[in-house]
Chains A and B, each alone.
Chain A
Amino acid sequence: MTDRKSVALALYRALGALLPPSARQDGEEMAQLFAALRDDAPTAPARWVRTAHGLVALARVLIVEWLEHVGARRPPEVIHGTGRGGMVEHMNSGIWQELPRAARRLLRRPSFAVSSVVTLGLGVAATTSVFSLVHGVVLAPLPYPDSDRIVEVDHGAAGLGRDGGLGMAYGFFRFYRDHLRTAESIAMYTRFELTLTDLGDAVSIPGVAATRSLAAVLGVRPVLGRWFIPAEEQPGASPVVVISYRLWQDRLGSDPTAVGRTIMLNATSHEIVGVMPEGFAFPDPTRAFWLPRVVPSTGIGGWNDRSVARLADGATPDDLAREMEGIFPVIRESGDDPERVTQYLDEARVHPRVVSLKESVVGDVRATLWILMGTVGVVLLISIANVANLFLVRMEDRHRDTAVRAALGAGRAQLLAGFLAETLLVVLGAGVLGVVTAKVAIDVLRARAPVQIPRLDEVALNPAVVLAALGACLFTAVLLAIVSAHRLASGRSVSPASALKEGSGRGTASPDRVLGRHALMAAQVALALVLLVGSGLLIRTFQQLRSVDLGFSERGALTFEIALPSARYGTRAEAKAFHDALLPRLEALPGVRAAAAIGSCLPLSRSMCWGDLLEVEGRPAPVEEEPIVTGLRVATAGYFDVMGITVRGRSFVPADEQGAATAAILSEAAANAYFPGEDPIGRRIRIGDDRWHTVVGVANDVRAELTSDEFTRTLYLPVLPDGVDGPPPSRLIYVVAASVPPSTLTPGVRAALGELDPLVPVAALRTLQDVVDEATAPTTFALMLIGLAAAIATLLGAIGVYAVVAYVVGGRTREIGVRMAMGARAGDVQRMVLRQGGTVVLVGIALGLAAAYLLTGVMAGLLYGVSPTDPVSYAVVTVLMLVVAGLALWIPARRAARVDPLKALRAE
Chain B
Amino acid sequence: MDPTSHLPLAPRDLMILAALVERPLHGYGLVKAVEARSSSGVLLDPANLYRVLRRMRALAWVEEADDDEGRRRTYRITDAGRDVLVAELERLERLLEHARPALADGG
A residues contacting B by CB (< 8 A) are 23, 26, 29-30, 32-34, 36-37, 54, 57-58, 60-61, 64-65, 76-77, 79-82
Q: Could you say which of A33, A37, A60 has the most chain B C-beta atoms within 10 Å of its C-beta?
A: A33
Contact (Cβ within 8 A) A33 B54? no
Contact between chains at B51 and A23 (CB < 8 Å): yes
Shortest CB distance A99–B (Å): 14
Complex alpha-carbon distance, A782 and B21, angstroms: 72
Contact (A82, B10) CB under 8 Å given A23-B54, A29-B73: yes
Chain B min CB distance to A34 (Å): 7
Quick check: B47 and A60 within 8 Å, CB to CB?
yes
Minimum distance in angstroms from A603 CB to a CB of chain B: 70
B58 to A, closest residue via Cβ: A76
Which residue of chain B lies nearest to A60 when distances are taken between CB atoms in the complex? B47
- Decide if B33 is an interface residue (CB 8 Å cutoff): no
- Tell whether A32 pairs with B28 under 8 Å between CB atoms, given A76-B58, A79-B9, A82-B8: yes
Contact of B10 among A34, A61, A79 (CB under 8 A): A79
Q: How far is the CA of A60 from the CA of B10 in the complex (A)?
A: 21
- Which residues of B pack against A, CB within 8 Å? 6, 8-11, 13, 26-28, 31, 45-51, 54-55, 58-59, 72-73
B19 to chain A, nearest CB (A): 15
Give the residue of B9, B27, B46, B59 whose beta carbon is less than 8 angstroms from that of A57.
Answer: B46
Tell which of A29, A34, A80 has the most Cβ of chain B within 10 Å: A29
| Chain B residues within 8 Å of A65, by CB | 51
Nearest chain-B residue to A79 (Cβ)? B6
A54 CB contacts on chain B under 8 angstroms: 46
Contact sample, A vs B, 9 pairs, CB 8 Å cutoff: A23-B50, A33-B31, A37-B31, A57-B47, A58-B47, A61-B48, A79-B59, A81-B8, A82-B8
**Once the chains are docked, how many angstroms separate the CA of A64 from the CA of B73?**
23
> A32-B28, A32-B72, A36-B28 are contacts. A79–B13 as well, Cβ < 8 Å?
yes
Q: Are A61 and B47 in contact (CB under 8 A)?
A: yes
Closest to A65 in B: B51
Nearest opposing residue in chain B for A82, CB measure: B8
Complex Cα gap A36–B28 (Å): 7
- Output the least CB separation between A587 and chain B (Å): 80
Interface of B is mostly: helix
Task: Give Cα A54–Cα B8 distance, bound, in whole angstroms.
Answer: 31
| A82 neighbours in B (Cβ, 8 Å) | 8, 10-11
In the complex the two chains form, is A32's CB within 8 Å of B9's CB?
no
CB distance from A317 to the nearest CB of B (A): 58
Query: In the complex, what distance in Å separates the CA atom of A29 from the CA atom of B31?
Result: 13
Q: B9: which A residues are within 8 A, CB to CB?
A: 79
- Decide: A30 near B51, CB < 8 A? Known: A80-B10, A82-B10: no
- Contact status B13-A33, CB under 8 Å: no
Q: Are B47 and A29 in contact (CB under 8 A)?
A: no
* Residues of chain A within 8 A of B50, CB atoms compared: 23, 26, 29-30, 61
Cβ–Cβ contact B55 & A77, under 8 A: yes
Q: A60-B47, A61-B47, A79-B13 are in contact. Are A33 and B58 (CB under 8 A)?
A: no
Residues of chain A within 8 A of B28, CB atoms compared? 32-33, 36-37
B12 CB, nearest partner CB in chain A, Å: 10
Report B-chain residues with C-beta under 8 Å of the C-beta of A64.
51
In Å, the complex CA distance between A64 and B28 comes to 21
Minimum-distance CB pairs A-B, first 5: A57-B47, A26-B50, A33-B27, A36-B28, A61-B47
Measured CA separation A19–B49 after assembly (Å): 15
Complex contacts, B73 vs chain A, CB 8 Å: 29
User: Which residues of the other chain, A, contact B13 by a CB distance below 8 angstroms?
Assistant: 79
Contacts of B8 in A (CB 8 A): 81-82
Q: Closest CB of chain A to B62's CB: distance in Å?
A: 14
By a CB distance below 8 angstroms, the chain A residues around B10 are 79-82
Give chain A residues whose Cβ lies under 8 Å from the Cβ of B47.
57-58, 60-61
CA distance A37 to B11 in the complex (A): 22
Pick the most buried of A34, A61, A80: most chain B CB atoms within 10 A of its CB: A61
Residues of B within 8 A of A79 (CB): 6, 9-10, 13, 55, 59
Q: How far is the CB of B42 from chain A (nearest CB, A)?
A: 12
Residues of B within 8 A of A26 (CB): 50, 54
What A residues does B58 contact at CB under 8 A? 76
User: Given that A79-B10, A81-B8 are contacting pairs, would A34 and B46 also be in contact in the complex, using a CB cutoff of 8 Å?
Assistant: yes
CA distance A12 to B59 in the complex (A): 28
Is the pair B46, A37 in contact by a Cβ cutoff of 8 Å? yes
Could you tell me the distance between the alpha carbons of A37 and B45 in the complex, rounded to whole angstroms?
12
Q: Report Cα–Cα, A54/B54, bound state, in Å.
A: 20
Cα–Cα, bound, A101→B8 (Å): 21
Report yes or no: B46 in contact with A29, Cβ–Cβ below 8 A.
no
Task: Tell me the minimal C-beta distance from B57 to chain A in angstroms.
Answer: 11
Chain B, Cβ-Cβ closest to A83: B10
Interchain CA distance A58-B46 in the complex, whole Å: 9
In the complex, the answer to whether B6 meets A30 with C-beta atoms within 8 Å is no
Chain A residues, Cβ within 8 Å of B72: 29, 32
Tell me the bound Cα distance from A14 to B41 in angstroms.
31
Q: Which B residues are in CB contact (< 8 Å) with A58?
A: 47
Contacts of A34 on B, CB cut-off 8 Å? 46
Query: Taking the nearest CB of chain B, how far is it from the CB of A64, in angstroms?
Result: 7
In the bound complex, residues from chain A placing their C-beta under 8 Å from that of B48 are: 61
Closest residue of chain A to B53 (Cβ to Cβ) is A26
B16 to chain A, nearest CB (A): 12
Interfacial chain B residues near A32, Cβ < 8 Å: 27-28, 72
Please report the C-alpha to C-alpha distance between residue A77 and residue B11 in the assembled complex, in whole angstroms. 17
Shortest Cβ gap from A26 to chain B (Å): 4
Residues of A contacting B6 in the complex (Cβ-Cβ under 8 angstroms):
79
Alpha-carbon distance between A57 and B51 when the two chains are bound, in angstroms: 13
A30 (CB) vs chain B CBs: closest residue = B50
Query: Smallest Cβ distance from A644 to chain B, in angstroms?
Result: 76
Please give, as numbers and ranges, the residues of chain B lying within 8 Å of A76 by CB-CB distance.
58
A29 engages B27 (CB within 8 Å)? yes
Give Cα A64–Cα B54 distance, bound, in whole angstroms: 14
Contacts of A36 in B (CB 8 A): 28
User: Taking CB as reference atom, which chain A residue is nearest B6?
Assistant: A79
Query: Contact at A30–B54, with CB atoms within 8 Å?
Result: no
CA distance A81 to B7 in the complex (A): 7
Q: Which B residues are CB-close (under 8 A) to A33?
A: 27-28, 31, 46, 49
Chain A residues near B11 (CB, 8 Å)? 82
Distance (whole angstroms) from the CB of B83 to the closest CB of chain A: 15
**Min C-beta distance of A257 to chain B, whole Å:** 55
For the complex, give the distance between the alpha carbons of A423 and B16 in Å. Answer: 34
CA distance A34 to B58 in the complex (A): 24
Residue on B with the closest CB to A77? Answer: B55
User: Bound state CA distance, A575 and B73, in angstroms?
Assistant: 94
Smallest Cβ distance from A36 to chain B, in angstroms?
4
Chain B: which residue is nearest A32 at the CB level? B72
How far is A65 from B45 in the complex, measured between Cα atoms in Å?
A: 15
Nearest-neighbor residue (CB-CB) of A35 within chain B: B28
Chain B's nearest CB lies how many Å from the CB of A25? Answer: 9
Q: Quick one: closest B residue to A33, CB to CB?
A: B27
Measured in the bound complex, the distance between the Cα atoms of B72 and A618 in whole Å is: 109
Residues of B within 8 A of A61 (CB): 47-48, 50-51
Q: Which residue of chain A lies nearest to B28 when distances are taken between CB atoms in the complex? A: A36
Alpha-carbon gap, A76 to B47, bound state (A):
20
- Bound: A339/B90 CA distance, A: 114
A230 vs B31: C-alpha distance when bound (angstroms): 71
Chain A CB count within 10 A is highest, among B11, B46, B55, B73, for B46
B59 to chain A, nearest CB (A): 8
Chain B: minimal CB distance from A690 (Å): 92
CA A81 – CA B8 in complex, angstroms?
6
When C-beta atoms are compared, the residue in chain B nearest to A78 turns out to be B6
Q: Given the complex, which residues of B lie within 8 Å of A23, measured CB to CB?
A: 50-51, 54
Question: How far, in Å, is B105 (CB) from chain A's closest CB?
Answer: 26
Which residues of the other chain, B, contact A80 by a CB distance below 8 angstroms?
10
**Distance in angstroms between the alpha carbons of A57 and B9 in the assembled complex:** 24
With CB as the reference atom, state the residue of chain B lying closest to A22: B54
Residues of A within 8 A of B55 (CB): 77, 79
Residues of chain A lying within 8 A (CB to CB) of residue B31: 33, 37
Extra 10 A-B pairs, beta carbons < 8 Å, given A23-B50, A26-B54, A57-B46: A29-B26, A29-B72, A30-B50, A33-B28, A37-B46, A54-B46, A65-B51, A79-B6, A79-B9, A82-B8
